[in-house]
Structure 1
Amino acid sequence: MRVSVDPEMCYASGECALRVPSVFTAVDGLGAVIPGREETAADEPQVRDMAERCPSQAIRIQ
Structure 2
Amino acid sequence: MKVSIDPELCYGSNDCAYRVPAVFTVSDGLGAVLPGQEGAGADPSVRDAAEKCPSQAIRIEG
Shorter chain as normaliser: what TM range? over 0.9
Unpaired runs of at least 5, structure 2: none
Unpaired runs of at least 5, structure 1: none
Separation in 1 of the partners of 2:48 and 2:17?
13
How big is the alpha-carbon RMSD for the aligned residues of Structure 1 and Structure 2?
Answer: 0.4
What's the TM-score, normalizing by structure 1?
0.96
What's the TM-score, normalizing by structure 2?
0.96
Alignment coverage as a number of residue pairs: 61
State the identity as a percent.
67
Runs of 4+ in 1 over 6 A off after TM superposition: none
Deviation track 1:7-30 (CA, whole Å, cap 9, x = no partner) reads: 000000000001100000011110
